[in-house]
Structure 1
Amino acid sequence: MTEPTLGRLRVDGATLHYEVRGRGPLLLLIPGGTGGAASFDGVADDLAADYTVASYDPRGLSRSPLDAPEAAQRVAQHADDGFRLLELLSPGKPALVAGCSSGAIVALHLLTSHPERIERVVAHEPPLVGVLPDAAEHHALLARVQDTLRRDGLMPAAAEFAAGLRRPGADPVDARAVTELPPQAAARAERTMADMSYFLGRIVPSFMAYVPDMDRLAALSDRLVLAGGADSRGELPYRPAAFLAERYGTELVHFPGGHTGLSTHPAEFGELLRKVLDT
């Protein structure tokens, strides 16, 4: 694996850790969950043959500390972090952006707020439950998860969250399979567990309740690739991508694996991502 160039960027209320590999047009990779920049390790080297590949730990996670640790988290502020990285690494030039899960939500807001800076966005399973016809049911899930987190602690809340994400009638799953990426090293595993309370308590309720500007997104849909996991049809994070693709009359691109296909099928995931970006 090629060692990336590491950097630190001061933004409003936080300091971002970012990593850069390769040469060529900028490709900003926005991680979801608690994965951080390391979640793209399995695809970044191959993509760096054609792109300047940049990823980062979102504010409040891992190596990107908040100035105020209890600060509320907003999609718009996370998207502004992405914009600041674009300005730093590709000033004045449109860039490519790909995001997974909560990172895909950030990517969608980045597209609608700074379309002049975005050439294409790939959004893999953004869990935008507010766009769904049965949104009230899923808002109730988010409230239950927060109640459980406050009353019973992290792991019961993670189990409640995992149960709400799986498709109806599916067998129960280990909550950790939903809320973290499989660690490649002990240090990464420790970071993931350390970040899970922050993710579940402050990222999940804010991000999953977010509703993008649907009309503005429709006007920019020619720059948007909506994606889902081939193995996650019917699961909650898959459904908003499918709903938006149908609404905008665009193709829903199926990536290998499920919601964490980036981690479970990195070679195939990276190959398809390259193909989609080159289209």
Structure 2
Amino acid sequence: MPSITVNGADIYYELRGTGPPVMFIAGASGDAGHFEHVAELLADEFTVLTYDRRGNSRSLRPDGWETTSVAEQTDDAAGLLSELGLAPATVYGNSYGAIFALDLMLRHPGVVRSAVLHEPPMISVLDDPAAAQTSVAAAIQEGMAQGGPPAAVDRFFRFVVGDATWDRLPTGLRDRMTSNGETLVGLELGTFESYRPDDSALAGVTAPGHVLVGENSPGSFHEIAVWLAERTGFEVVRTPGSHTPQFDRPDDLVRTIRPLLRGRT
């Protein structure tokens, strides 16, 4: 089980394939297994790096770690790329991972060749941010009442991806994800959603990027994508599936992003 100490945390990672480096950053529950199938498909052309974000799954919670931030998560990703000799890399982020990928472009431009940002939940840029959070908050509260943080993760993902998709995930992956409830509920939820770089910083991004929105996703994600594209010049690309196409449409996702990872639209 490979791991490396980065930014004061032991980070579990997986490498597949050969070729130009591509890093995948997971969102809620932070497990490398989110992208296992996608990584295997892309390993024919790329060196694919996936990892468990700090305090999630096999990246054990550091002693005394009681808070986190976008900057800390981004520093972890940058350090991992540098320590493994993979910088600069193309970075794909889903959900929270898309926020971290964007912050990489702003704060660690030397490690990013290009970025693909799938539905960053930058709730603060919405016209009605409270409305976008109400349903998620209700699902989390229901899960907490039923069985604490593990049940909250279960209820959260059933709300986000649907019962059928959640139940189809490998048992080991689902078990790891639900075991990350203390990190998700206790440290992460509500911490990253307010991320909002100023317009001048976004206008200064020089690396190419794309903002992806699922064809079945709520309109709030399209609103965020348009807001971000207007400030960066990134192209908005429709993707198959919903908020987590790596779970419900992995083959279609790979067909969509492969040319973007190569640097072509």
Letter in 2 for 1:116: G
Q: Matched residue pairs, number?
A: 260
Task: Note the C-alpha offset of 1:250.
Answer: 3.6
Which one of the candidate residues 115, 119, 128 is aligned to 1:125? Answer: 119
Q: Which residue of 1 aligns with 2:201?
A: 216
8 Å CA contact 2:140–2:155 kept in 1: the answer is: no
Task: Note the C-alpha offset of 1:138.
Answer: 5.4
Q: Which residue of 1 aligns with 2:51?
A: 56
8 Å CA contact 1:228–1:242 kept in 2: the answer is: no
Q: Note if 1:195 corresponds to 2:180.
A: yes
Task: Note the C-alpha offset of 1:30.
Answer: 0.5
8 Å CA contact 2:54–2:61 kept in 1: the answer is: yes
1:259-278 deviations in Å (ceiling 9; x for gaps): 01111111110121111122
Letter in 2 for 1:253: V
Q: Note if 1:241 corresponds to 2:235.
A: no
Q: Which residue of 2 aligns with 1:266?
A: 250
Q: Which whole-Å CA distance do the structure 2 matches of 1:253 and 1:148 have between them?
A: 33
Q: Which residue of 2 aligns with 1:26?
A: 21
Which one of the candidate residues 238, 245, 250 is aligned to 1:254? Answer: 238
Q: Gaps (5+ residues) in structure 2?
A: none
8 Å CA contact 1:101–1:237 kept in 2: the answer is: no
Q: Which whole-Å CA distance do the structure 2 matches of 1:210 and 1:248 have between them?
A: 16
Q: Which residue of 2 aligns with 1:84?
A: 79
Distance 1:140 1:55, change over 3 A: closer
Alignment of 1:22-171 (within 5 A): 22-34=17-29, 36-68=31-63, 71-90=66-85, 93-135=87-129, 137=130, 141=134, 148=141, 152=145, 153-154=148-149
8 Å CA contact 1:142–1:205 kept in 2: the answer is: no
Q: Which whole-Å CA distance do the structure 1 matches of 2:251 and 2:140 have between them?
A: 39
Between 245-254 and 260-269, report the one with greater CA deviation.
245-254
Q: Gaps (5+ residues) in structure 1?
A: 1-5, 163-173
Q: Which whole-Å CA distance do the structure 2 matches of 1:132 and 1:34 have between them?
A: 24
Distance 1:48 1:140, change over 3 A: closer
Q: Note if 1:12 corresponds to 2:28.
A: no
Between 54-63 and 31-40, report the one with greater CA deviation.
31-40
- SS of aligned partner of 1:175: helix
- The TM-score with structure 2 as length reference comes to 0.85
Aligned Cα root-mean-square deviation (Å): 3.1
Letter in 1 for 2:242: G
Letter in 1 for 2:112: I
Q: Which whole-Å CA distance do the structure 2 matches of 1:63 and 1:46 have between them?
A: 23
